[in-house]
Structure 1
Amino acid sequence: MVIVPPANVAWSAIQAIFKPVKRELSFIFSYKKKADSRDHKYKKLKAALVRVQSAVEDAQRNGEEIIQDVKDWQKEAELKVQEPEVISDEDPKCFFGWCPNLKYRYDLAKKADVDAHVLDKLLDLHSAFRNTFSHPYDPQVRWVTPSQSYVAFNSRESIVNLILEASKDHTLKVIGVHGEAGVGKTTLINRVAKKAKEDKLFDWVALADVTQTPDIKNIQREIAECIRHNLEEGGATARACRLSTILGKEKKVLVILDNIWASLKLEEVGIPFGDHQHRGCKVLVSTRNPNVLSEMNADRSFPVHALKEDEAWKLFTKIVGNHVNDASVQSTALDVCRRCQGSPLTILTTANYLKRKPSSEWESASKQLTSPSSAVELSFNHLANDELKSTFRLCSLMPYNATIFDLLKYGRAFGLLRGINTTEEAHQRLHRLVQYLKSSCLLFDGRMAEEFAMHEVVRDVAASIASRTGDMFFMRNEIGPRELPYAGSLRNCTTISLFYNDFIRLPDRLECPQLKVFQLYNKNPALRISDQFFSKMEELKVLDVKGMQNLSLLPSSLGLLQNLQTLCLESCLLQKIEMVESMKKLEILSFYDSVIEELPEEIGQLTQLKVLNLDNCSKLSVIPPDVLSKLSRLEELHVSNSFAQWEDGQSAGRHASLGELNQLPHLTSLNLHIPDYSNMPKKIFSEKLQRFKILIGNTWDWSDKHEASRMLKLKLNESIHMNNGVQMLLKKAEDLHLDELKGVRDFLYDFDESRTGFPQLKYLHIQNAPETKHIVNLVEEVSLVAFPVLESLYLQNLINLEKICNAQLEMQPFAKLREINVGSCYRLKNLFSFSIARGLQQLQEVQVADCRNMVEIITEGGGSDVGDDEATITVELEQLRSLTL
């Protein structure tokens, strides 16, 4: 027992009384200090908010989903970031100016103290998420994210379970799903894909959109990407053989073909099926027409019907919210829901519209609902402004999985880019418009980050609305030999869209003096365009032609199009294209996926050009010198899977040199391949680059599993030097691949000259680095956050790698890691220590192969990394779903 002297008790009591008094008095005597501290934190929060808003806009432009914590923080910060109360230079007095105003000082300090605590909280939250603002696109798990239209109704879950059971039956090869437009077939099969992955029924699940105009090459590409393969270029037949071989090596594969309109021959795509080819390969097909399933010899099919009345009401209330429980609107809401006739598409579109409207408008909406089309039109009529309505109409011209670049082609002609001066600003505006239309359920997510899709029902409505004024003409997916209607009926058109029709001929000349946009997507390889076809289209601003195999000589009338701003000749056979020099107003020029061998010198005369797209022009072998350097206003240059014969610029040659890029001061987007690192000039890449896909070295191909907006693949045959802008690319990269690293012992130390980590890096792939011993090896820099957003780590053939992380760090370096793949790292004994492993809360997949000295995946003791003094040795990897050793 301890006896406390009375004197100590008294002193403790005095202290207990005096402490709060002292604290309150401090508000009076240090009021200016507290206010200054508050103002300093206010400035820090204001700067942080600007940085976050910029990062969020960048992420949204890339089609990424902003994390909810970030959204909540923005709202709080925006409310708090108001000008603080300014302290007067003259201290207010009381008692006729003889005494300071103690109440004024106390109130001011008290308020500053409260504000400072709120500001501290917001700044701490900002530090917590740092550079992690969004969820990136992952082609492997697109269908894992549940659609807002999916609720686990009995009518749907029972079909899902029946399909999954059928997929286990070795006697069934092709399984079908059919139902009316808008009934939810795509949502349902996405659910099947998700469940099949979760239950590990298949080694791989691959999903491809077929659409009304199937593109075999695109279907093959989508399937290959889902199983993490890249198909080499070549004809459809050669690619089919390659895909069949790839699929044949897997034991169990589920291939899902969504939205088939007509019978598709699986062997032409490269899908092996059946006992004689691949018993473990199952095919799931969705279509509106059950006859298609019969023609494809489906072994079993499942109809998808409209939702039952109680299910429809549950979905409706989920979207609209508790407002429907108000007695004043409930009967009207029930009537609106019944009029949707159990169609999920109609319910989604209608409910998303109504949840933004007062109850007084619900009765009117109920009377207008007669079909899915009327629901779409109702939503369109109440879009916020004409800009959104123009975007919606423009989307009727787009392919099924359209991109922001597709919108960019037409944006100016449709009045969407008024006041926009740069293509980067245009990308941002178009992305915002697309996001708003998605929130109204008039558009949906596409397969890739930059893609979006429009349901066929919605597209039909969009085309109908666009053509009502008589100045827009559409022909889309017409089967059988076709010709254009009488030319006189097209005379007053401003837009003509001819989308994959079976034309046998076109008129010799189309007289449309007011025409601004002409779109021709062709599927007849024999179709020709006459020399005079464009001679009466003087006002044409956008010409978008795809799939023409007879354009070796461009029609001479193209030279008359003096007002043309966008010219796209894509997937075409091209030879003589010099006449484009006469189109002095061109801002966008695209030869994407075309057969073209030489870019003419005349291109250099297009001094207004902002975008030049030569992606996937695999035959392009000549770009003459001093052509690119003349395009002084160029903002986007795309040369992926295309020309790569860059000169070093030291002497006159036949080809363009990399040094010409230094003469493009406005360049913000760049795709190109540099086979020889030694040819790179000292200064080549600008700090202005916002989006890039750059390959350096002769190892790489253009496969891009992650669809990042900033990708760098770097092969170094010599010791690294970063004087040509490569360091800047490293710091900005989201997807980084490194090969043959020489002289690199510690990756982070040798590549991070600024000692700030890699704040934007999401995917890191290192291979063939015999001298590398560590990925992270730091002792002194304890506060460094090395990889705050890294999600995938791939290490292959690092034969002397001893540790992945050998550092004393305060912050977890791999907190966002979802996937790690390690192979042929012979000296590696473990992946992570317990302290690191405790931070791997997002880890989903671990693969380790050919690591002959590997003792354990997670090691308990001894490592010099995060928190080794902590006693807890429990590691729970709750997200882990795949472990391959």
Structure 2
Amino acid sequence: MAGDIAFAVAAKVAEYTVEPVFHQLSYLFFYKRNVNNLKTQVAKLEGETKDRVQRDVDAANENGEEIHIDVRNWLRRVDELIKEATVFYADRQRCKDKVSYRVTPPVVTSISSKGYKAIESRTRILTNIMETLRDGKLKRIGIWGPGGVGKTTLAKQVAKEAQKDNMFGKVVIVTMTVEVNVNRVRGEIADALGLRFEENSEVGRANRLRVPLEDEHKGSTFLLISRNHDVLKSEMGIQKGFLLQVLEREEAWSLFKELSGNTMENPELEAIAIEIAEGFAGLPSSIATVAKALKDKDIYAWKDALNRLKKVDKEGHGKIHSALELSYHHLEDEEAKALFLLIGLQGRYYVYKYDLLIFALGMGLFKNINSLEEARARLHKLTKNLHACSLLVEDETRWVAIHDDVRGIAVLIASKDQQVFSKKVYSELNEWPEMDTLRRCRGIYLPWCYMRNFPERLESPQLEVLALENYSNDYLRVPDSLFEETRELKVLDICGMMCVPKPPLSLHFLTNLQVLYLYWCKLDDITMIGDLYNLQVLNLCKSDIKHLPEQIGKLGRLRLLDLDSCSSLQVIPPKVLSNLTSLEELYMGNSFVNWESCSSNTGTNACLVELMDLHRLTTLDLPIPKAEILPMDFLFRKLERFRVYIGDGWSWDGNYESRRLKLKLSTKVGGGVRLLLQNAEDLSLDELPGVKNVVNDLNEEGFPELKHLSVQNNVEIHCIFNSIIPSHAHCIFPNLDSLALNNLSNLEHICHGPSMVEVEIFCKLRNFQVNNCHRLKNLFLFSMIRSLSQLVEVQVSGCRYMKEIVISEKEDSLNVAVDGIQFPQLLSLTLQNLPALVTFCSTEITPSTSQRRNQEQAIEIETKEIKEVDKQGSLLPLFNHKISFPNLETMVIKHIPKLRTIWHQQDTAKSFQNLATLEIDSCARLINLMMISMAKSLVHLKTMKICNCENIEEIVSTEGKNFEDVITFNLLESLALVRLPCFKSFCSGNHTFNFPSLKEVIVEECPKMEMFCPGNLFAPMLKVVTQEYSVQCWKGDLNTTIKHLFMEMHDSSGK
């Protein structure tokens, strides 16, 4: 099942229905089926219904009859629908043909199951779930049980075990809460599948995501979790469910004792611990939370904890509530407590650390902090601690996740202890609460605020934080006097407010305001904001604003200015930005682009040189559409994070934490840009005249920080690295994860020069894509292979003169002996549109010293064989038996016209043993696909598709053997044979073939195929053979069906 994609969807669905969400996701997973259904229905509409109606209309016209208006409208609408469908098919094909830049992360972080304990009752259920997955017959499996029993933890452990056992090609966990965001779900799936795409639109991203999924949806398995069995059964359609119950008494005590540190030597302490553990009714989440909170504490802390728990129980709260409140009170850091409450009050499962940083700064949560960098470091430390205490579900670089139950406790504590008002999570607020409720509030958080009528004044004189979020199409309209009595306000966060012609006039009373969020607002004249002289953060992200007033330059204490996605912003007057001398972070992505040239005297807009006065700047997002306006000394020495896009044509995307640089230059690279180059983690280069060797010309240190490199559309680059030219670096690209080379018309070498044995290069490279580099004759030097052990995906396309993938340097330059070429981690290999390719590697392999004596005779024979074959020009196999891909799962070979043999005749069982998907297309000289020995080794093959091979006659060749043999394709589910004019049979030998899992056979345009095979054939699960135009046929068994189709075709053609 190595080719499957398993989607483990962790859904908290106890109180609400997620069927609409599941329907949304099914559009992604079952896209191909939907497209095929559309084709069938359109063909039926066009070929049957419309033609019949049109004939009736034509007959009526001939008889001089009047045609009803509704009939004419119907025909016109049918024509429009057919036209729309035609456009859709064309768009889909363009999307499929587009070469994408794919990056597969080393580990899908959401699959982590840290802290998982092997409890016997859980281990039994885990074993049963894994057996169900291995069986592969059920595609929707459920886990259900009460809150706190560990459903999500178990699901993550299932995912981890499935990934470890290579049961699925990809394992993805998606958490869905009531705040359904299908676009976020798509994004999480895309990230986990290793898809990087630049499209800004949701439709663009969705279409890109559908392509890799569409051919694999049949193998997808869904693991769904819920508190409610009826939801799983009736609404989500699970085929089998597993009930997860509370722990037995002994299991609960064992878990508690282990997590609390096994410090039970004191009998009195042990007695208290037993009472505490029994109080949580076998709920592992509560047990773990409290045990971690009390670990290594003295007996007084344990006594206090027991007293607190008893008190909470008397108040009628549940066990989970008790555990969480106890864990909160045992946080030793007051900042951690405040941050935990703040996270809960955000009202979401996922909370961005960017938002937490800004709120914490405005509220003064962090003490003794002098910069945003220090605050960010403190924030990461505290979220890590909260996660360790089980108060956060996840703690990632950019966001944290908090469980619904935990968030509810945080809101309850904040409401009780800090006079905070927060509307029930996910419930829309349409009317303003009673003023008496709000009068003493210090914080008001309304994350789902859709009110149309606000009070004239908010009578909350102690209010410090006000957050109103409106994501509807109608803007909030706030009275001018609303803020007159909230003069202590420090954080004001309003999303979706109408501020035309001006914001509420009472805004100028908020002289203590530290943070002002006007997110997704309609703005016009915001001059008054310049009077808020204590402001540290101004966020106008995604707001509709055309002009940033000069008065903003008066905000001398401003540390962060966010103008991200203010796409209407046309004017920033000169000196506004340069006057913000305290600015540490500036976000202008997908925003203002009308920078003046430094030599311009018009004075209507800012110029880039102003930014160089911002000496405290550590974060910069900046699009620069014209490289000509760059100052020569454009230099920032303190940047910790940046996304700088220079030149037109770049689309903006949203990873705030990376150092990303995109260059499209028609001039040489300047000094300031070179500094960004040296520190970049993600680098894209377009055009770039004057560069011939990427490393040697741009960064002699070897790009030590770089993780992703894309180079495209250059006519001067000859190689990526030239070892002839002296370099200061011993290791080149030491951290590079992905490399994409596109449209480099003069690229001749990836690495050039003497042997690379003494230079480490690409030692962490996982993904390598090469496209339309016509002068490139090979990818890797033989001496580089040892550095490429981490490669996961290789894609080579459209290289006109590519002869082989791996080539040896001169023999006298090789100082290393190896037993063969192995790519131990490679999962996917695509070779397409390579008209000159003959073989993967023709190099004679030198054995290691330990094996040399025993192999001398064999090597002599092998060498002779290679040389003889080489003289004949095109009989070399694509892969000789010295080349090994022990973990390869997907292999695509298209448009390789010189290819005659794929595998060497000798045993290759260990070389391709995990291959799951094999696609061969347009290889005109290929006569057969594999020998019997190779067929027997493909024990994990699941999908085989052979198309447009003019001379192929059979899939499995008999190797000249006359005796019968048994060949089993144990996991093969889908076989497609399309447009093969010379194809006669799967195998011409009298062998027995077993296909126990085969469910789909497609045979199209194979006019010479008289039978499937002459020997015995077993395919118990196959019930239909699909032909052209999705026509299906079945005559009892596969051989009989193929014979029937052959006879039917020849009878219809008159032959």
Q: Normalising TM by the smaller chain, what interval?
A: 0.7 to 0.9
The answer to whether the 8 Å contact 2:429/2:448 transfers is no
Judge conservation of contact 2:567–2:591 (CA < 8 Å) in 1: yes
How far residue 589 of structure 1 moved from its aligned partner, in angstroms, is: 0.2
Q: For 1:622-652, what per-residue CA distance to the aligned partner results, in whole angstroms no more than 9, with x for missing partners?
A: 3233321221221111011222222212212
Q: Determine whether 1:686 maps to 2:663.
A: no
Deviations 1:721-755 (A, max 9, x none): 323x1111011111111122322221110001xx3
Cα pair 2:429 2:446 within 8 Å, conserved: no
In 2: Cα distance, 1:702 partner to 1:863 partner = 48
Query: How is 1:717-732 mapped onto 2 (pairs within 5 angstroms)?
Result: 717-718=666-667, 720-723=668-671, 725-732=672-679
Contact map agreement 2:430 2:450 (CA 8 A) in 1:
yes
Equivalent residue number for residue 777 of structure 1? 722
Structure 1 length normalisation: TM-score?
0.73
Q: Which residue of 1 aligns with 2:876?
A: none
Alpha-carbon distance between aligned partners in 2 of 1:673 and 1:520, rounded to the nearest angstrom: 30
Q: Does 1:628 pair with 2:577?
A: yes
Give SS of 1:347's match: helix
Corresponding residue of 2:769: 821
In the TM superposition, what is the alpha-carbon distance from 1:620 to its structure 2 partner? 2.5
Change (3 A) 1:230 1:817: closer
**Structure 2 matches for 1:170-319, cutoff 5 A?**
177-191=143-157, 208-227=174-193, 228=195, 230=197, 232-233=199-200, 239=202, 241-242=203-204, 245-252=207-214, 286-290=225-229, 293=232, 296=235, 298-300=237-239, 302=241, 305-306=244-245, 308-309=247-248, 316=256, 319=259
Q: Distance in 2 between matches of 1:488 and 1:513?
A: 12
AA in 2 matched with 1:659: V
Structure 1 gaps, min length 5: 1-135, 255-277
Could you tell me which amino acid in structure 2 is paired with residue 505 of structure 1?
N
- Per the alignment, residue 673 of structure 1 pairs with 623
The code of the aligned residue for 2:604 comes to R
Structure 2 CA distance for partners of 1:137 and 1:831, relative to 1, 3 Å: closer
Please state whether the residue corresponding to 1:821 is helix, strand or coil: strand
Is the partner of 1:350 in helix, strand or coil? helix
Deviation at 1:565, TM superposition (A): 0.9
Deviation string, structure 1 residues 401-421 (Cα, Å, up to 9, x no partner): 223321222224443233322
Change in CA separation of 1:306 and 1:771 when aligned onto 2, cut-off 3 Å: farther
Deviation at 1:177, TM superposition (A): 5.0
Separation (CA, whole Å) in 2 of partners of 1:312 and 1:606:
57
Post-superposition Cα deviations, 1:19-72, rounded to whole Å, max 9, x if no partner, equal xxxxxxxxxxxxxxxxxxxxxxxxxxxxxxxxxxxxxxxxxxxxxxxxxxxxxx
1:161 and 2:127 correspond:
no
Q: CA deviation at 1:480?
A: 5.7
Offset of 1:244 from its aligned partner? 5.1
Per the TM alignment, residue 686 of structure 1 is displaced from its structure 2 partner at its CA by 1.3
Counterpart Cα distance in 1 of 2:811 and 2:350: 49
**In 1, are the aligned partners of 2:643 and 2:658 still within 8 Å (CA)?**
yes
Q: Distance in 1 between matches of 2:746 and 2:223?
A: 46
2:445 aligned residue:
497
**Structure 1 residue 390 displacement after superposition:** 1.8
Shift of 1:165: 6.6
* 2:608 alignment partner in structure 1: 658
TM-score scaled by length of structure 2: 0.62
How many Å apart are 1:298 and its aligned residue?
3.3
State which of 312, 329, 345 in structure 2 corresponds to 1:381: 329
What are the residue-to-residue correspondences of 1:392-791 with 2, within 5 Å? 392-398=340-346, 399-446=348-395, 449-469=397-417, 471-479=419-427, 482-501=430-449, 503=451, 505-526=453-474, 527-548=476-497, 553-651=502-600, 652-703=602-653, 708-718=657-667, 720-723=668-671, 725-752=672-699, 755-779=700-724, 780-781=726-727, 784-791=730-737
Task: Quote the Cα distance in structure 2 between the aligned partners of 1:689 and 1:715.
Answer: 21
Q: 1:249 to 1:217 in 2, by over 3 A?
A: closer
Q: Work out which of the two has the higher radius of gyration on C-alpha atoms and give 1 or 2.
A: 2
CA distance in 2, matches of 1:386, 1:485: 30
Conserved 8 A contact 1:137-1:707: no
CA contact 1:800–1:826 (8 Å) conserved in 2: yes
2:351 match: secondary structure: strand
Q: What is the rounded CA distance, in whole Å, between the counterparts of 1:312 and 1:854 in structure 2?
A: 63
Please tell me whether the aligned partners of residues 581 and 614 of structure 2 are also in contact (alpha carbons under 8 angstroms).
yes
Question: Any conservation in 1 of the 2:197–2:205 contact (CA below 8 Å)?
Answer: no
What are the equivalent positions in structure 2 for 1:802-821 lying under 5 Å apart? 802-806=748-752, 808=756, 810-821=758-769
Instruction: Say if 1:176 and 1:293, in contact at 8 Å, map to a contact too.
Output: yes
| AA aligned opposite 1:756 | E
Could you report, residue by residue, the CA deviation over 1:370-396 in whole angstroms, capped at 9, with x for unpaired residues? 612222222222222222222222222
Is contact 1:622-1:645 (8 Å) kept? Answer: yes
Q: Return the alpha-carbon distance in structure 2 between the equivalents of residues 441 and 655 of structure 1.
A: 51
State the 1:343 CA deviation.
Answer: 3.2
Given that 1:730 and 1:736 are in contact with CA atoms closer than 8 Å, whether structure 2 keeps it comes out as yes
Which residue of the other structure, out of 129, 148, 173, is the alignment partner of 2:115? 148
Q: Distance in 1 between matches of 2:826 and 2:268?
A: 49
Residues 1:253 and 1:141: Cα distance change in structure 2 (over 3 Å): farther
Alpha-carbon distance in structure 2 between the residues aligned to 1:657 and 1:393:
43
Contact 2:701 2:728 in 1 (8 A): no
Give how far 1:567 is off.
0.1
The residue type paired with residue 710 of structure 2 is H
**Once superposed, what is the RMSD of the aligned Cα atoms?**
3.5
Q: Does the 8 Å CA contact 2:448/2:469 hold for their aligned counterparts?
A: yes
Q: For residue 345 of structure 1, what is the aligned residue in structure 2?
A: 285
Distance (whole Å) between structure 1 residues aligned to residue 135 and residue 590 of structure 2: 41
- The Cα shift of 1:162 comes to 7.2
Q: CA deviation at 1:876?
A: 4.9
Change in CA separation of 1:621 and 1:183 when aligned onto 2, cut-off 3 Å: farther
CA spacing shift, 1:676–1:311, aligned 2, 3 Å: farther
1:670 offset after TM fit, Å? 0.4
Query: Could you say what secondary structure the match of 2:365 adopts?
Result: coil
CA-to-aligned-CA distance 1:825-866 (integer Å, 9 cap, x gap): 33334433344222334333333333344444444553898x
SS at match of 2:323: helix
Gaps of 5+ in 2: 1-102, 314-318, 832-1055
CA distance in 2, matches of 1:137, 1:416: 38
Cα–Cα, structure 1 residues 600 and 844, in superposed 2: closer, same or farther, change >3 Å?
same
- Of 839, 844, 848, which residue of structure 1 is paired with 2:787? 839
Say whether the 8 Å CA contact 1:552–1:573 is kept in structure 2: no
Q: Deviations over 1:699-729 (max 9, x none)?
A: 211235x7652111111223x2323x11110
CA–CA distance in structure 2, aligned partners of residues 191 and 552 of structure 1: 55
Question: Which amino acid in structure 2 is aligned with residue 491 of structure 1?
Answer: R
User: For each residue in 1:548-603, what CA deviation from the matched residue of structure 2 results, as whole angstroms up to 9, or x when unmatched?
Assistant: 36766422211221111100011233333222122111110001222323323322
Q: Percent identity of the aligned residues?
A: 38
Residues 442 and 464, structure 2, Cα contact 8 Å, conserved in 1 = yes
* Alpha-carbon distance between aligned partners in 1 of 2:544 and 2:695, rounded to the nearest angstrom: 42
Report the counterpart of residue 355 of structure 1 in structure 2: 295
Per-residue displacement from partner, 1:649-678 (whole Å, max 9, x unpaired)? 221253321111122222111001111111
- Higher deviation after alignment, 199-208 or 417-426: 199-208
Paired positions, count: 711
Q: How far apart, CA to CA, are the structure 2 residues paired with 1:189 and 1:287?
A: 11
8 Å CA contact retained: 1:784, 1:809:
no
Contact kept, 8 Å, 2:130 with 2:162, in 1: the verdict is no
1:16 corresponds to? none
Cα distance in 2, alignment partners of residues 166 and 508 from structure 1: 65
CA displacement at 1:492 relative to structure 2: 1.8
Counterpart of 1:250, as a letter, is P
Residue 142 of structure 1: how far off its partner (Å): 2.0
Q: Structure 1 525/800 Cα, relative in aligned 2: closer, same or farther at 3 Å?
A: closer
